Structure 1
Amino acid sequence: MAVYKREGKKGVAFVCDFIVAGQRVNQTIPGVRNLREAKAAEARMRAEAEARINASGNLVKMSLEVAMERYVAERLMPRSKPAAVANYLIYLGMIRDYFGPSRPVSAINNAACAEWWGALLAGRGGGKGPVKANTAKRYLGQLKAVLAFAAEAGAGNTVPTFSPTVADDARVRWLTTEEEDALLAASPPWLQDMIVFVIETGARKGEMTGLRWRDVDLQQQPRGIVRLYFTKGGEPRGIPMSKRLRALLERLKEGAPDTRPDTPVFQWQVRGAEIWAPMGDFKKSWAAALKAAGIADLHFHDLRHTFASRLVQRAVPLLQVPYL
Structure 2
Amino acid sequence: MKKLYGTGVALITPFTESLEVDFKGLKKLLQHTAKGVDYYVVMGTTGEAATCSEEEKKAVLEFIKKNNSSKLPIVYGIGGNNTHHVIESIRSTDFTDVSALLSVSPYYSKPSQEGIIKHFQTIADQCPVPVMLYNIPGRTASNLTADTTLRLSEHKNIIGTKEASGNLEQCMKIAKYMPKDFLLLSGDDMQTVAMYSIGAKGVISVLANAFPQIFKKTKEYAFAGAFDKASQQLFKLLEINGPMYEEGNPVGVKYLLETMGICNANVRLPLVEASEDLQRKIQGLASGIKK
Q: Same fold (TM over 0.5)?
A: no
Q: Give the TM-score band, short-chain normalised.
A: under 0.3
Q: Looking at CA atoms only, which structure, 1 or 2, has the larger radius of gyration? A: 1
TM-score normalised by length of structure 2 = 0.28
TM-score normalised by length of structure 1 = 0.26
